[in-house]
Amino acid sequence: MKPIAIGELSRQAAVKVPTIRFYEERGLLPRASRTEGNRRTYGAADVRRLRFIRHARELGFEIEDIRALLDLAEQPERPCGEVDAIARRHLADIDDRIARLTGLRVEVQAMLDQCSRGSVRECRIVEVLADHGECLHEVH
């Protein structure tokens, strides 16, 4: 594959140009080679790496975890225990967020269920929002 410009990398990896620059600044993507005219150029490895990063971000992995996963991916002979640990930690974070969102959903649904649909003066939603003690349970 011949070197490609940042716009083509953006298209092939389905990532916006500013995002590519962001990943370069954070060290997730190596600094691009430059032409004599100082234009960035990239290769097939950059496309693969950027797709990896994009997919990991879509799955909600944090930048530091992606950095660790990329480092581990460059050592294919190593056992995958560290990769597994990162993924398990991320799954636990997802489960925690789901539990918190489920609690929030229950709380908002309860406010809606208790609303008499009268005037704002009698609105249960406004009452609960104005006084945290009116909540069914502690929500953070």
15-67 pLDDT tens trace: 999 999 999 999 999 988 888 888 889 999 999 999 999 999 999 999 999 99
Please name the residue that has the structure tokens 């150029």.
41
Query: Does residue 90 share a domain with residue 70?
Result: no
Q: Is residue 140 part of a domain?
A: no
Q: Are 11 and 73 found together in one domain?
A: yes
Q: Are residues 73 and 110 in the same domain?
A: no
Q: Which two tokens stand for residue 41?
A: 């150029």
Same domain (yes/no): 27, 64: yes
139 occurs within a structural domain: no
Res. 124: pLDDT tops 80: no
Q: Encode 42-62: b = buried (16+ Cβ within 10 Å), e = exposed.
A: beeebbebbebbbebbeeebe
Counted domains in the chain: 2
Domain end residue (candidates: 59, 78, 97): 78
**How far is it, in rounded angstroms, from Cα 54 to Cα 47?**
10
Provide the β-strand partners of residue 41.
33
Cα torsion at 80, 72, 29, 55 (round to 10°)? 10
Does residue 140 carry a pLDDT above 50? no
User: Average pLDDT of 82-94?
Assistant: 97
